[in-house]
Each structure stands twice: as C-alpha cells, then as structure tokens.
Structure 1
Amino acid sequence: MTPLDKIRNFSIIAHIDHGKSTLADRLIQTTGGLTAREMSAQVLDNMDIEKERGITIKAQTVRLEWKGYELNLMDTPGHVDFAYEVSRSLAACEGALLVVDAAQGVEAQTLANVYQSIEHDHEIVPVINKIDLPAAEPEMVRKEIEEVIGLDASRAVMTSAKSGIGIEEVLDAIVERIPPPKGDREAPLKAMLVDSWYDPYLGVVILIRVIDGVLRKGQEIQFMAAGTKHLVDRVGCMRPKMEILPELAAGEIGFITAQIKEVAQTRVGDTITDSKRPALEALPGFKEVQPVVFCGLFPVDANDFEKLRESISKLRLNDASFSFETESSAALGFGFRCGFLGLLHLEIIQERLTREYDLDLITTAPSVIYEIHMNHGAATIELHNPADMPDASRIDFIEEPWIEAVIYVPDEYLGSILKLCQDRRGIQKNLTYVGGRAQVTYELPLNEVVFDFYDRLKSISRGYASFDYHQIGHREGDLVKMNIMVNAEPVDALSMIVHRGTAEARGRGMCERLKDLIPRHLFKIPIQAAIGGKVIARETIAAMRKDVTAKCYGGDISRKKKLLDKQKEGKKRMREYGSVSIPQEAFIAALRMGDDT
C-alpha cells in the first residue's frame, strides 16, 4: 500500500496536436513502463483513428514509478465534444500539465480545459513543447501563457517530447509541484467512475479514482446514480499493460471489472460505494450525457441493414454516449436515427462503422434538437428529425439550441471569420487581442454550426483558427421546414429545418446541386424547394429528346407538327406516371455538401 504523500495524480491538458500523447509516450518510456521493444508511437491512443488524426477519443490511465513516487497519469480527450469526460478526468486528479506548442501558442481548447482545471483547484505546471522546431518561440509562448491564462510561467518546463529533451525535468516538476491526494482509508468506500470500455473477455472495464476507503476483489459494490449492485472480480492498474493488484486504496487510480455486460450501465461521473457500508452522499458533478447532434445512417445497399444494426449495437457496447433508434425513409429505405455528442463524435462513429465493419453508409444532414411549442397551451415536443415536424398551423413557436463560441484567429483572417459568423446569424459578444491574435466571442445557433462551420472556419483561416463552444440554452427562432421535391414528390431524406431568412439561398443551392447530380430522364424533371405550399426555388432537368421528325422530309409543315404533338403527349403521360430514380451517389453528394451557401 503506497502512502498518500508518495502518490501524484495528474492529467495532461492540451489543444489537439500539441504533443500530449507524445509526451505521455516519453514519460512511460523514461520511467520504464514499457521496454524499447514494446514501445510504439502514441501508446495510449489504441484506435487507428486516434493515431491517424492525432487526437485522443477515450480517456486512458497509466501508473508510473519515479524516484519512489507513484505517478498516475490521465490522458484525456482534447476535443470540445468530450468536455464532460474531460471534467470527470480532471476531478480525479490534483494537478495538471499544461502542454503548449512552442510554435502555435495558446489555443481555444487549451483555455477551456485550463479553466476547468482551475475550477477543480489544480496545481498547473506549464510545459512548453516542441522547442526544437525552427518556428518555435518559447519566450513569446511563456508571455502568452501569463497574459492569456494568468498563470506564472517563469518556471515553465521547456521540452521536446519527440526528441526526449526535458522529460526528466517534467517528472521532477510533477513530484515537486503537484500536491499529494487527500483521502481517508478508514472511511466508507467512495470512488469516482472516470471512464469505461468494453473488453470481449472481461466485460466492461471501469476506470476509477478511489476518494475514500479501500476497494478489494470480492467486494459487493453499488453505483449510486444507476442504483445497481455488482461483485468485483478483478482490481488492478495499467502500467500501461494491465496489472492485477490486491486492492486500490484512497488516493489511487486503477481499474475494476465486475462482470458487467453493457457500458451503458456504467455512467461517467457516477459514485461507486460499498453496498453493505455505503457512503452517505454521492460525489458532486455527475450529470447524464445528452446527445446534441442527430443524423440518419442508412446502408447504401439495403441488404446490409441487419449488418448495420449489429455493428451499431457493438459500437454502443463501447460508447454509451451514442444513441440510436430505427427509422425508415421513402428514399433511402431502412436505417437508424443516431444521436452524437457533436460533429467530431459523429465523424468518428461513421468512420469506425465504415472501417471496422466494412459498411457503405449514407448520412443524412445533421440536425439538432428543436423544442416545438404547440398552440393553445398544448405540450412541448422535442424534435430530432425534420421529417417528423408537425403541421405549421398547430405550432405556436419553435426554439433552437444556441452556443457560445470562442474563436482564436490571427489578425489577417479576422474579417473573413467575422463575416462567416455574421452569415450564420451570429451575435458578437466580445473581441479582444491576445498578442498578435484576436479572440472573438460569438453566440451562434447550433444548427448553423453543425453543417460545415468548422470546415469553413479552417479553410478561411488556413487552419490557424481554433474554435471552442458550450451550449447556452434554447431561444425562439423563425424556423421553417424546407422540403425538397423531385418531380412533385417530396424526398424526405433531404428535408431540413432552416431559418426563414436563409431558406431561399439554401433551397436554391440544394436545387442547383441536385440538377447536376440527377441524371436526365426521357421526360422533364422539376426540382423544387418548398416551405409548406410555397415553392421558393426551382431547377428543371431537361428531357432527353429523340428527333422524331428525322424520318419526315418534304410535304406540308403540319406533318411535322403532328409528329411533335404526338411526342409531347407521350412525354406528358410519362411525366405523370414515370418515377425518377435518384442514384445513391446523388444523395451522398447532396448531403455531404450539405451547406455551402
């Protein structure tokens, strides 16, 4: 049993791609957690997507030994979609390493997580990474940390995680500056559930931080928020390989397994206690994770529906924050309506389904949760799918979710960024300068952001802008459902909820795109965007024509007219009874390009 004053629990805070996982690798290597032969790049990122994109999706923990101290490192996700998971990981620690890229400086996500860390009363150790890059300006970054965040950076540790410079200094700083955990080993068991994942052999593996008491194998535990009881069959820690331990005591971080079959039963932030001698109250800060963005996932080949159901169920085993239910569409057949924490989460799930389960998918345009207030004091409805929108005459008003976004951008791109936010119905709240960069705070409707706002932001600023947001509640908006009709038939998969002010431009853009994507038929095809009964945009695909007068030569003009009239009748009849087959590629392209007006 390690004495409390010899334990240090810390996490690493950084923006995406500032070298967090590389620094974790070096710390593991320096403390002898893995031999050189077992070492691989980004040890703690065990998904292919994590390694390729340089992002962390699941929190990981590793126990290191350094000069007689036990160091527990929490590798947290760096993206805004996983903000709640980050807050729980930070709550399990007493300190944090703030990693800032010496070439890029402080970015939006760094700030968001640092402020969370400060709220948890953490001791923060600034680490300036990548000092060996030609573009590195460590002194400027040191100043920026002091000006922007207000932390004393005079003792910031200078490192290059890739080259292994300054790693021992980082370990010494952790031991010296981060306080040991507090906790009473004699008190009733109280542990925080930090994260969990599914292992095909062990069931659900639960990552925990013991606050008070001791947790042993064979103990019956209770989840206070979920109310379920389980028998612990394995207790251990990650080094980063699993190591079985006899017990985990107050102040320690490790894992347990208890023959739990579904990750959904283990909610992040829940309090674990002893069922025979329970704690009096749960740990603060627990909340249910709610999906924010919804979209439909349909298999390109209708025969893959069962395979998709199976694949989604398997993914759900590992990711409780992702929800799904079946839905059917006249145009796309059977599929699932899925809920995600944000756009990155949506992209990751989609990519994992495509890669790990070999599925070709069509994703409908992402939408958010709207609150629809019905007439005459009737109930309020939550709308996830634009196709389910009730009749406009029954609606009193609609509320949509809004976010507060903080954007950091170099001065030369500021004008374009302000225009982008203005075009997306943004309300500017603040504009300040931090060194050579502007910090803009905007309030924006979430449905304007979920399409391609992030991509546009990156392309306008050549990748230099960083963006962080949090939700600030629902507000009333002049929103309407826009239907897309092909040959007078509404295509439900393309319907979307838009603001009345931008509906015409969005409708025109969609019609123009579909005109290029749908192949010509033997009859004329009108493509229309409509709000209720009013058509707001139209494009027409011309018919493929056969020259019926080719065989008619000489004689009176009435002979040609007769043949053309006969053809016209046939075309008219065809338009009435003919069905337009929209190829799957057209759907994919139309939905992918979503919104570029």
Structure 2
Amino acid sequence: MKQENIRNIAIIAHVDHGKTTLVDKLLRATDAFRENQKVEERVLDSNDQERERGITILAKNISIEYKGVKINVIDTPGHADFGGEVERVLKMADGTLLLVDAFEGPMPQTRFVLRHAIQAGLSIMIVVNKIDRPGADPEKAYNDCLDLMADLGANDEQLEFAMEHVVYASAMNGFARLDPADDNDNMYPLLDMILDDMPAPEVDPDGPLAMQCVTIDHSEYVGRIGIGRVYSGSIHTGDTILVVKNDGTQSTATVRQLFTFDYLGRKECDVVEAGDIGAVVGIERTDIGDVYTDPENPIALDPIEIDPPTLSIVFEPSTSPLVGREGDIVGARQLKERLMLERENNVTMKIEELEDKSGIEVSGRGILHLSVLMETMRREGFELQVGRPRVLFKKDENGNKIEPIEQAVVECPEEYSGKVIEIFGTAGGTMVSLDASGLVTHLEFKIPTRGIMGLKNRILNVTHGDGVFYHTFLEYGPYAGDIGGRKNGAMISMSTDKAVAYALGTLQERGTLFVAPGDACYEGMIVGESARPGDMVVNVAKTKNLGNQRSSTSDISVQLTPPRTFTLEEALEYITDDELVEITPQNVRMRKRLLSAVDRKKAAKK
C-alpha cells in the first residue's frame, strides 16, 4: 500500500544552480522558523567549507510538513567528486526535483546525478530556476532537460512525467510558478505539485522489518549511527534485529535509540514507520548497505555499490625545516589517528597505512574530494605533507590496463576555441562535440583523469579568464599512453632564510615567482617557476653589496610583480612526482621531496 502521509524527494542540480537556496525557501514557506528567528542564508550548508566554496559536500536530510503530509527532502551534492553520497541517498527517494538554471540549462554534473536517478527508476519533476536572471531562456532549459533525460536512457513513463510536471521558479526571490508569465509570489505551487503528483512510498506496513543503511553519522558518545529508509514493517526502540552485511554475513543487534528527521533537526521517537527515513543507534560497526531486518522472517535487499576511488594521495607527517611554527599537531601518531577516525565516518574514501609505515594512503573520487579532507585537517591545527595525486589504474577482463576517463566541458568565446582544442590535444583529450550556435562555443571532450591535472589554469590563461571549465568522471577506458607533465622547471631555494626584494627583483626576469619579500623560505622549497625546462637553484636572500657611495633612490627601488598564489587544489595539480605540498594552518607551500641539492643530484644518477 501507499503511505499517503509521507513523500521522499531528492533535489539534484549542478553546482551553483540554487538547490540549497530553494530548500531554504521551502523551509520558510512551511513555517519551519519562528517569525523573529534569525536564519543564515543557505542554512543546509552547515559546513564552513560548504559556505566558502558555495557547494554542497555532504548529503543532508531535512523534513517539512505541508497540509498534514511529511515531506522528507534529501539535499544531494552537485559535484561529481562527492558522487559516493549521491548514489546511496537516492535509494531513500521515490521522486526527485531536477533543478536547472534557466540561463545555463543542464550542465555536466547534472548529467552525473541524473543518470543515477533514472537508473533508480525515480519520477523526475523539472524545476527551472533563476527565470528572472538576465538572458534566461526557461523554455530552452526545459527542452534541454527532456533531451538530456532521453539521452541518458529515461523510459517513456519518466519522460511523460517530466513533460507534464515542470515548475518555473526564482529561489532567491521565493516564488514558484506553473507558467513563467504568472505573477504568483510564493512557493506553494511547487509544494502542491509535490503533494499531488510525486509518488508516495509503496510499502508493506504490516510485513517484517526491512530497512537499509545508506548514510553513516558518527557520535563520539554512541558511535556509528545508521541512517536509512524503512521499506516494510516498522522499527521500535528495544527491538532485536538481524543485521545483514553486503558480503552476506549476519549478526543480531538491539536498537538503543531511534530518531526521525524534523525540519532541520532530529527528533527522538519510539518507532519509525514504513516509508519514513530514520536514524538507528545501537548497531556496532554498522556500514553502508547494511540491511536491518526481522530475525525470524529476514528480507533480502540489493546491496549498495559505490563507485570506486579514482585518485590516491599519500599523507605524511611534515619534515619541513619550518615544522611546528604554525600548527599544533605535527606528530605521525596524531596524523594516523585522525585519518583512521575519518575512515570510520567517511565510507567514500579508502584509507590504508603504507607497508613501511611512512605515511597513510587516502583514495578518493577526485582532487576536490581529497582536498576537502586536507583543508579540514589544516583548520584543526595539523601540519602535514602530501605527494602528487596518483591515478588508480585497473585491468579489464583481458588483462589490459584501463584508467579513469572524464567528460570535460568548456564554454568560451568562439575566438579562443582553437586554443582550447589544442590544449586538450596535448593532454590526451579527444573532442566529442562542438556547438557554436549560442553566445559562447560549447566544447565537450573525453580525457584521462591524468590529463585533467593542471588544465584549469591553462584554459583560463588562453581564454583570458572568459572560459568556464567543468569535468566529471565518466568511465574506465583504455590506457591513453604517456601524457606530458609540467613543461617548465622550478626555482628552488638554496638556503633557509627570508626572501629579499633585491634578490626577487633579479629572479623575476627569469620566470614567475611564488613568494613575496619577507616570506620564510627554506632549502629545497619551490619559490617560483623557471621560464625554461629544468630546475634552477636560486638564492632568494641575496642582498645588494653597498659601497661607501650614496646610491640614488631609483637604483635601490625594485619593482616586483605580485607573486602567483596557489589554492590547495592548484598546488596538488602543479607538483611533479619528486615534489610535495606542505600544508599548514596558515600556508600551502611546495617543496622538493629531497631538500638538499646534493641529495637530488645523487638520486638523479641512480
């Protein structure tokens, strides 16, 4: 039977298309906040990095109540690097809102999440957002969504549902309309459509318990908390349940506490009914995909498969001469403990200690996925160093080497498209399509993940900052052979000292600098990029020899170009195999793995 008093919906969208803002307005429309309550914008982006980056990293559950019906809303990450979250949480939904920007239409990462929603058989309702944006074309965005759904293999039923259920909205201004020309100024048309047309959960409330854990939360007081949807029966506090793992192993456990989602928080309860989403406390070592069922009448559910990691990075304790100056936590033991705790909470990452105990290998879905963990740790006071990201290769059935392939999309003015195609050609990419019919040229490529590293800066340079670049994991494909890395050599400091303006003035003529006067440098640290291939050892602390004659002011003043600065992701993409990124709470520095020039020469001869 259908549980008519519950709706479970996911919201999927590309980064920055207004998904989290839409949820804000739905909460306000259903009186989730007191009239005088001060609420931050994008209230679901609770993580500091989510707010700063403007992206959703963790899938979250909330619930709203409208006309006596509980609507569980699942906010999914829009970035492909956090796809491990997406695949699982869609299992809890019966329908999804496909949110697209009326100006941009569906983007590559919309494609990634939408493919999973279609494969899960969900009903898809289209919400065309930002219809008041200059240059918006809601009809084109709507038609592009239908084309994309057909391209991804949506069945006739899903396509018909999407054609009949479209809402035009401006989440920022808090309105949703069935026709862009309407003058409605609230969100109720969208809420009414969810209630009237989104399918209610199809459940067996009187059958044996069947619940599957799709998300793990962690509390230092009660341990792991399994979050999932009850497909049949109901679960009560104090119940003895059978826990069936993905590999088929079974054990029994007692439910100590139960919670359901209530607006932005959780509410403790004694029972979670069929069709609802709940959180269960008391199951030791619970994991993604665990099925909680009746010990006497067990029900089998399909195991949950998570796409495997595509990149790995080795985390090591810092060996920099400046270690301990900026961070409080520098020891190898603390680093290991922190990463093992992350392994408990973050099932989308694979975290293993190296055999020689020199570091911890962390594997994830992309550089952004891995850098979010590094950024979190540096904010906690850690100092560490990491090597170059390494692509994880596989073997196919015939024993051939295969590697992760990405779908990359570039939108740029037409005059730069030739340069963009040339850059992808040198990085192992092949062009799939070119569309020059709009205001900008739309280019699509297939490119190995190895070739993506460092590409964003090159594209921004050749498009003079006017290019937009997105990429998302597509599939594992044949090994593409050698791909050239960084062409230019590095400028490497020869001494441990502060950089001096006089020295930097002479060095900037020979390349690009990464440090400014007064910056602390050490032997082996990368302080710039040479204009030529091959590394160059330089003296950043060289001062002018002063004679006994007074020099004119013009002689001693040095005109310095501002140094090039790197974000954490840019630094990871920039370094080569013999280099490291040093991460501290205040700085991101790049350095050679071997700090001494003598040691590097010896290693080169081996």
Match of 2:256 in 1: 233
Aligned to 1:282: 301
Q: Does 1:185 align with 2:205?
A: yes
1:478-504 Cα shifts (integer Å, max 9, x gaps)? 4xxxxxxxxxxxxxxxxxxxx2x626x
TM-score by length of 1: 0.71
**Distance in 1 between the 2:582 and 2:367 partners?**
23
Pick the aligned partner of 1:253 from 267, 277, 289: 277
1:368 to 384, 391, 394: 391
Classify 1:363/1:132 alpha carbon distance in 2 versus 1 (closer, same or farther; 3 Å).
Answer: same
Separation in structure 2 between the aligned mates of residue 15 and residue 103 of structure 1, nearest angstrom: 13
**Deviation for aligned residue 1:322:** 2.3
Mapped to 1, the partners of 2:343 and 2:436 lie a distance apart of 43
- Given the alignment of the two structures, is residue 195 of structure 1 paired with residue 202 of structure 2, yes or no? no
Q: 1:14-60: per-residue Cα shift (whole Å, max 9, x none)?
A: 10111111111111222123335163322222211112112112211
2:374 aligned partner = 350
Take 2:87 and 2:107, find their aligned partners in 1: how far apart are those partners? Answer: 18
Partner of 1:175: 195
Do 2:384 and 2:582's aligned partners in 1 also have CA atoms closer than 8 Å?
A: no
Which deviates more from structure 2 when the two are superposed, residues 128-137 or residues 105-114? 128-137
Point out the more displaced range, 333-342 or 112-121.
Answer: 333-342
In the aligned structure 2, how far is the partner of 1:516 from the partner of 1:193? 51
Query: For residue 34 of structure 2, what is the amino acid of its counterpart?
Result: T
2:312 is equivalent to residue 294 of structure 1: yes
Amino acid at match of 1:316: R
Give the partner amino acid of 2:377: L
Corresponding residue for residue 56 of structure 1 = 56
Match of residue 318 from structure 1:
345
From the superposition, tell whether residues 583 and 111 of structure 1 become closer, same or farther in structure 2 (CA, over 3 Å).
closer
Contact 1:312 1:353 in 2 (8 A): no
| In 2: Cα distance, 1:76 partner to 1:543 partner | 50
Do the aligned partners of residues 518 and 7 (structure 1) sit closer, same or farther apart at CA in structure 2, a change above 3 Å counting? Answer: same
Q: Which residue of the partner structure matches residue 589 of structure 1?
A: 590
Alignment of 1:76-91 (within 5 A): 76-91=76-91
CA spacing shift, 1:427–1:464, aligned 2, 3 Å? closer
After the TM superposition, which of the residue ranges 23-32 and 460-469 deviates more from structure 2?
460-469
Kept in 2: contact 1:191–1:273 (CA 8 A):
yes
Q: For residues 407-461 of structure 1, give each alpha carbon's deviation from its aligned partner in whole angstroms, at most 9, with x where no partner exists.
A: 2524625333322321111233444578556655433222222x22345456656
The structure in which a higher percent of residues are helix is 1
Deviation at 1:111, TM superposition (A): 2.2
CA distance in 2: counterparts of 1:21 and 1:591, whole angstroms: 41
Cα deviations across residues 93-136 of structure 1 (Å, max 9, x unaligned)?
11111111233322111122223222222222211222333454
Correspondent of 1:420 among 417, 423, 435: 423
Q: Structure 1 residues 328, 246: closer, same or farther in 2, change over 3 A?
A: closer
Q: Which residue of 2 aligns with 1:142?
A: 142
2:484 is the alignment partner of 1:502: yes
Query: What displacement does 1:198 show?
Result: 0.9
Amino acid at match of 1:29: R
Does the CA-based 8 Å contact 1:362-1:588 persist in structure 2? no
Whole-angstrom CA distance in 2 between matches of 1:122 and 1:88: 13
Deviates more, 1:228-237 or 1:148-157: 148-157
State the 1:352 CA deviation: 0.4
Mean CA deviation greater in 469-478 or 211-220:
469-478
Q: How does 1:428-507 map to 2 (within 5 A)?
A: 428-431=431-434, 440-449=443-452, 451-457=453-459, 462=465, 465-473=468-476, 475-476=478-479, 478=481, 499=482, 502=484, 506=486
Task: Give me the whole-angstrom Cα distance separating, in 1, the residues matched to 2:47 and 2:257.
Answer: 24
How far residue 345 of structure 1 moved from its aligned partner, in angstroms, is 0.8
Q: CA deviation at 1:289?
A: 5.1
Q: Is the 8 A contact 1:144 1:434 kept in 2?
A: no
| Aligned equivalent of 2:268 | 244
* Conserved? CA contact 1:18–1:101, under 8 Å: yes
Residue in 2 aligned with 1:224? 245
CA distance in 2, matches of 1:541, 1:312: 35
Post-superposition Cα deviations, 1:150-205, rounded to whole Å, max 9, x if no partner, equal 56567532222222222222111211221111111222222222211212233222
Measure how far apart 1:587 and its partner are.
Answer: 10
Partner of 2:41: 41
2:121 alignment counterpart: 121
From the superposition, tell whether residues 3 and 116 of structure 1 become closer, same or farther in structure 2 (CA, over 3 Å). closer
Structure 1: state its 5+ residue gaps: 374-379, 381-397, 479-498, 522-526, 528-535, 547-581, 593-597
Q: Which amino acid aligns with 1:443?
A: K
Corresponding residue for residue 341 of structure 1: 365
Residues 283/337 of structure 1: CA separation in 2 closer, same or farther (3 Å cut): closer
Q: Which residue of 2 aligns with 1:493?
A: none
Q: State how far apart, in whole Å, the 2-side matches of 1:45 and 1:119 are.
A: 27
- Counterpart secondary structure, 1:589: strand
Q: Which moved more, 1:409-418 or 1:79-88?
A: 409-418
Aligned equivalent of 1:309: 336
Residues 1:87 and 1:456: Cα distance change in structure 2 (over 3 Å):
farther
- Check the 8 A contact 2:493/2:538 in 1, yes or no: no
Contact 2:494 2:538 in 1 (8 A): no
* Contact residue 428 and residue 448 of structure 2 kept, 8 A: yes
Unpaired runs of at least 5, structure 2: 151-158, 177-186, 325-329, 498-523, 525-531, 543-579, 594-606
Shift in Å at residue 368 of structure 1?
1.3
SS of residue in 1 equivalent to 2:484? helix
TM-score, structure 2 as length reference: 0.70
CA spacing shift, 1:334–1:254, aligned 2, 3 Å: same
1:238-297 per-position Cα deviation (integer Å, ceiling 9, x unaligned): 22211122222222122211253x5xx412x44332233211x3225x225533211122
Rg larger in structure:
1
Write the deviation string for residues 347-367 of structure 1: whole angstroms up to 9, x where unpaired: 100100101x21133221101
- The 1:165–1:474 alpha-carbon spacing in structure 2 relative to 1, beyond 3 Å, is closer
Deviates more, 1:69-78 or 1:408-417: 408-417
Indicate conservation of the 8 Å contact 1:145/1:153, yes or no. no
